[in-house]
Amino acid sequence: MTTRNDFSVEYNTSPRVAEIAAPSVEVVMQDVVDTLRKHEDSFQGMGFPKLVNASGKEDLGGGTSVGITVANQNTLLAFEARRTPAETGTVTGSPASLISGRQIIQDTAALFQTANVVRGSLVINFTDQSIADVISVDSETQLTTKTLVNGIGNTYDVTDVYQVFNVTQVKAVGGNLTAVDESQITIEPILPTAFTQVILTSSSSATIANQEALEAGLFFKGVTIDGTNGIESSTGLAGTLATPCKNDTFAAAVIAARKMRDVFLIGTNVITADHSDGIRFTGADALKSITVLTTGAVLDNCTFTVQIVTGVMDGNILIQEAIASNLSGFTGVIKESGIQNTLALGNSGNNGATSLTDVSSVKNIGTGQNYAVIDAAATGSVVNGDRIAGNFHMINKAGAEIFDLTFESGTFIAQSSCTGGTINIYGECVVTDNSGVGCTVNDNTKTKIIADQDIEIAALKAQLALVPTDTRDAVYDGIP
């Protein structure tokens, strides 16, 4: 049984209204039945006739059941109206449109694209007392709309006050929904609400898969977190792409209940909960999905991909196809990824070891810093790497540990704060040893070997110049 905590029932109307609170945008028929029956059993609900009947779900074997039909009893299903405008402002310009039946509204302070204004959104000109549908979003500061109607002048005049409302598409899925009034006459089961568009999925099929399998399909086998637009809930369909969780605390409850291992991240999110079961965190965009790790989060054996990972960690994780930016306390593996700003090594988890494979430094566009810093201040920390590219600095190495780093290209500088242990550099790299007393930097790169060979050859050529011409070829034959 799955009940939702975002339903409310208005009993003192006919038909009654069962409303799903914003920002939920999806409901499954089985949840409608379970939730309304819970309301029927409440102290208030017991004083009124039943809200719902349901049929179907008989088990046919093999994980297949007869399809469910929900019959609301003098009750309409509604999604809460979206009354909050996507954008508000004052008109700063309205150039003439080249197309008949179109008008242009400009507001230099607006963020129409960021506010997700789209074709079909509604503009209300409160000063002119007129309205119009959006035809296109031309830029962050300009919209093209249909001609304003029902107003005083039906124009966008400078200083006119306006608001833009988006229309939210919502869904009722997972079976058939019907309704009858108090006289048992069939009525439409959905109550329209302002700025919502309801998609009601009906089925003529005689069978459905079980509810758990149906809901798993909505989750895509993972829980979605959106720190900006998510909901503060872990029940019902919280955590789907359509209804993401607000943070990872709610997501952790969904993960535990639905036995999932994957988390999908949208936008900027702060990780604070216990994910020690080894969760795979996948971002929506390698540059726009930003994940901030906190000291309270438990992240042993977790994986982070397609995102920027920053903050403080304590444990052992894998970062792959992502960017580690100003990340401290790190132990684990970074592969096929970039390192930006500073990577401060940790000493808790993975025996204090950090492994770098196929990594490169990422230039900080904001500061112009074109190198990444590896901070080895943590006692007992170890870093080894293979196939490294770009510009790296090492700082604060005081321990006796041996670091081995193999470069494909780039530069490596050991700073004066490195005062202990050994740093071995291999591959193709220009090495600068500015380390302090007590730290040994061994330049085993091909670049160094070639440079040494060039010095030897130059010395031999200098000696050759001192040898008499008639004996030079015999003595130094083969010297280039």
Q: Are residues 345 and 233 in the same domain?
A: yes
Residue 408 amino acid letter:
E
Domain contains 460: no
Domain contains 457: no
The CATH number linked to 146 is 2.40.10.170
For residue 30, report the phi and psi dihedrals to the nearest 5 degrees.
-60, -35
Compute the residue count for the chain: 480
Q: Are residues 378 and 232 in the same domain?
A: yes
| pLDDT per residue as tens digits for the range 34-59 | 999 999 999 898 999 999 998 876 66
Domain contains 456: no
Q: Are residues 220 and 136 in the same domain?
A: no
Q: Are residues 178 and 138 in the same domain?
A: no
Give the separation between CA 94 and CA 159, rounded to whole angstroms.
11
Q: Residue 66: left if φ>0, alpha if ψ -120 to 50, beta else—which one? A: beta
Domain contains 116: yes
Q: With a cut of 70, which residues of the chain have pLDDT below it?
A: 1, 57-66, 203-218, 350, 448-480
Are 227 and 267 in contact by the 8 Å Cβ rule? The answer is yes
Is residue 158 packed enough to be buried (19+ CB in 10 Å), middle (13-18) or exposed (0-12)? exposed
Domain contains 288: yes
Within 8 A by CB and 6+ apart from 65, the residues are 56, 57, 58, 59, 207, 208, 209, 210
Q: What angle do CA 43, 49, 50 make, to 5 degrees?
A: 85
Q: Are residues 237 and 116 in the same domain?
A: no
Q: Are residues 118 and 253 in the same domain?
A: no
Q: Name the token pair of 410.
A: 């780039």
Q: Are residues 344 and 428 in the same domain?
A: yes
Q: Name the token pair of 104.
A: 């242009």
Q: Are residues 249 and 292 in the same domain?
A: yes
Are 21 and 8 in contact by the 8 Å Cβ rule? The answer is yes
Q: Are residues 179 and 257 in the same domain?
A: no
Domain contains 153: yes
- DSSP symbol at 43: T
Q: Answer whether the bond into residue 85 is a cis peptide, omega within 30°.
A: no
Structural domain of residue 319, as residue ranges?
216-450
Q: Are residues 301 and 424 in the same domain?
A: yes
Domain contains 455: no
Does an H or E element contain 13, and which?
none
Q: How far is CA 287 from the centre of its chain?
A: 10
- Residue showing tokens 């309704």: 179
- Segments of 203-261 assigned E as strands: 207-209, 222-226
- Residue showing tokens 């506010």: 115
Domain contains 473: no
Q: What percent of the chain has pLDDT over 90?
A: 69
Q: Are residues 272 and 343 in the same domain?
A: yes
pLDDT for the residue 435 = 96
Helices (H) and strands (E) in the chain, counts: 5, 36
pTM listed for this prediction: 0.55
Structural domains in the chain (count): 3
Are 26 and 170 in contact by the 8 Å Cβ rule? The answer is yes
Q: Are residues 252 and 338 in the same domain?
A: yes
pLDDT for the residue 413 = 97
